[in-house]
Amino acid sequence: MSTHDLYALPADMTVWEVPAAGSARFTWEYDEGRDRLLALYAKGKDKQWDAAKRIDWDLPVDPVSPLGLPEETHTLYGTPSWNKMSRKERDELGRHSMAWQFSQFLHGEQGALICSARIAESVPDLDAKFYAATQVMDEARHAETYARFLKDKVGLYYPINPQLKQLLDDTLSDGRWDMPYLGMQVLIEGLALAAFGMLRDITPVELPKQILAYVMQDEARHVAFGRLALRDYYRELTDAELAEREEFVVEGCYLMRDRLRGEEVWDNFAIDKAEALEATENSEYLRDFRKLLFSRIVPCIKDIGLWGPKVRDAFADMGVLDMASTDVEVLMRADEDTAEELDRTRRFAAEEAARAAEVAEMVALGGE
């Protein structure tokens, strides 16, 4: 079966072609490199994993509620459109909403795959090329993982959201080598990391918890990579060049904020769009979710030096300026620790099950 047979809405095209811009850069310096970037490269090599083996794909998932969240968390809960729906229609709306959200994760991971390949091609320093090569493999694995979850456990896909598509287009069509870093490593990856973390922490369903935790273990390195490389480079730019990057950040953050509504889902249901827009704007759950999503982006933007008045005003307008004091290093370490603790818990459970089976076998032999 083709993936296109499982799209809830027609995908606009089979292949999306973004005109490439910029130069491929070679370097003949093979001996020198930044210690922290080379350490990330070493960790990136060491932490490679196989999605087919590390994740327990036999775990059950309810397609109606893949994350097992209460319906009160749905942004349309309690609206007139919601109240008119039957139980079956509400269940299907929940399925479509999760399919839409995880489809954006999937498309974003493919975007990250292409951006990291572009970084390996265009970044001038060999240490950054080395690390970007490990990230290409990470992103391929993430896209594989989300595609399998949507196909096997949800049975539904959604096309790429227009705002995400616009930000990817802006990122990839810019010829400056640092723009894939800024657009992908800081904005898209930063927002995705916060979204993954919130869902990882609130879902009681084991399979998506595993997926989100293991993907986040990789993504924590990716965001650190972007911060290290851009912090050094942006110290060298003129005020005019920094202003151009700050303009890109502001536009990108508004695009990311506005894409959270999931408007494409509404086309498949008898939902009043004006009513739904109002509900998403006033949803306390979505407002808190939106604010949390910027917990990774805002401190990173400040850290790399794009902290002019226009950026600060935009973050104040979004209500996320106070996120600038968030300690991103603490969050990243927690992401890695969570994945490792999950591995330890799963190994312990497997060992306990093996011991129980051995005991049962000995008891059975004794009985005979």
pLDDT tens digits along 16-61: 888 777 788 888 888 777 888 888 889 889 999 999 999 999 999 9
Q: Give the C-alpha separation, 160 to 33, whole Å.
A: 37
For the segment 174-216, what is each residue's pLDDT rounded down to a tens digit?
888 899 889 988 888 888 888 899 899 999 999 999 999 999 9
Q: What is the mean pLDDT of residues 113-140?
A: 91
Give the pLDDT mean for 338-342: 92
Whether 250 contacts 314, CB under 8 Å: yes
Q: In this predicted structure, what is the pLDDT of residue 22?
A: 75
Least trusted range by pLDDT, from 9-13, 209-213, 219-223, 307-311: 9-13
* Angstrom distances, CA of residue 256 to CA of 51, 153, 319: 28, 27, 14
68 has a pLDDT exceeding 70: yes
Per-residue pLDDT at 57: 97
DSSP 8-class letter at 150 = I
Confidence band (pLDDT; 50, 70, 90) for 148?
very high
Alpha-carbon distance of 209 to 173, in angstroms, equals: 35
DSSP 8-state assignment for residue 161: P
Average pLDDT, the chain: 88
Residue with tokens 């080598």: 177
User: Which region among 150-164, 247-261, 282-296, 319-333 has the lowest average model confidence (pLDDT)?
Assistant: 282-296
For residue 157, the cross-strand partners are 7
- The C-alpha atoms of residue 310 and residue 314 are separated, in whole angstroms, by 6
For residues 250 and 315, the answer to whether their CB atoms sit within 8 Å is no
Residue 333 has pLDDT above 90, yes or no: no
Whether residue 178 contacts residue 162, with contact meaning beta carbons closer than 8 Å, is answered with: no
Whole-number pLDDT of residue 177: 87
Q: Say whether 1 sits in a helix, a strand or coil.
A: coil
Flag whether pLDDT at 353 surpasses 70. Answer: no
1 has pLDDT over 70: no
Q: Give CA–CA dist 173/183, Å, rounded.
A: 11
Structural domains of the chain, ranges and CATH numbers in brackets: 3-19+34-334 (1.10.620.20)
What pTM, to 2 d.p., does this model score? Answer: 0.88
Q: What is the pLDDT of residues 95-107, one digit of tens each?
A: 999 999 999 999 9
Share of the chain above pLDDT 70, in %: 97
pLDDT value for 31: 79
